[in-house]
């Protein structure tokens, strides 16, 4: 009887210690990081079974008692591809510059990078040149994850750059909503347009809004 009680206490202590490790890390850890910090794989499996943890994406776990995810798709993609940048329609939605409803996460990656492998959520990948990829990146804390997203002006320019993929109407609407809802930062837009080589494409649309 004493042996059984001791075993139960040891298991409880192990679970409490593992939960404490997660909580100290902000509630979210990759599998490899959790193991490195001292959480045994069997303990992870048991915590999932007990519903103390939930799986955000493959190899990414968070405490189940945290507030519900507000943007689970963005959080999952950021967890799986931390070097990627949310772009185009997904970034427009984040910045409230579109009436489109994203059905997949639009993600920019460097042209020479390996293609990301993501089971879920659906992701549409765009390859950017080095200068275009690194320009205008903001980092937003979403559901405990650092999510890289292009700023509104860079997102606007990208929409004209990829107008054949997402539709020119989406880019024009984004410009209209940007003008209605934000302070015009024309110098910033023109700088990004030069980087992305769409100055001539955007010029008549910018002239029409001034």
Q: Cis link prior to 93 (omega < 30° from 0)? A: no
Write down the pLDDT at residue 46: 92
Task: Give the start-to-end residue ranges of the domains of the chain.
Answer: 2-63, 72-209
Low-confidence ranges of the chain (pLDDT < 50): 2, 5
**pTM, 2 dp:** 0.79
pLDDT in tens, 16-64: 999 999 888 878 888 888 999 999 999 999 999 999 998 877 788 888 8
Q: Which of 3.40.50, 3.30.70, 3.30.460, 1.10.3470 would CATH assign to domain 72-209?
A: 3.30.460
Distances (CA, A) of 90 to 1, 70, 194: 58, 14, 23
């Amino acid at each position: 009887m004493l042996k059984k009680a001791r075993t139960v206490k040891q298991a409880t202590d192990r679970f409490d210690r593992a939960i404490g490790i997660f909580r100290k890390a902000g509630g979210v850890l990759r599998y490899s990081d959790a193991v490195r910090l001292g959480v045994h794989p069997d303990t992870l499996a048991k915590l999932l079974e007990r519903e103390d943890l939930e799986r955000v994406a493959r190899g990414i776990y968070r405490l189940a008692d945290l507030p519900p995810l507000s943007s689970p798709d963005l959080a999952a993609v950021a967890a799986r591809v931390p070097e990627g940048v949310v772009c185009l329609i997904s970034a427009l939605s984040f910045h409230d510059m579109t009436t489109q409803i994203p059905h997949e996460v639009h993600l920019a990656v460097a042209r020479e990078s390996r293609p990301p492998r993501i089971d879920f959520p659906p992701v549409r990948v765009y390859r950017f040149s080095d200068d275009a990829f690194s320009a205008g990146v903001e980092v937003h804390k979403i559901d405990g994850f650092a999510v890289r997203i292009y700023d509104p002006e860079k997102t606007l320019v990208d929409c004209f750059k990829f107008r054949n993929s997402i539709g020119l109407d989406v880019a024009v609407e984004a410009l209209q909503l940007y003008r209605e809802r934000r302070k015009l930062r024309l110098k910033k837009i023109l700088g990004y347009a030069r980087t992305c080589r769409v100055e001539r494409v955007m010029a008549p649309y910018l002239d029409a809004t001034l």
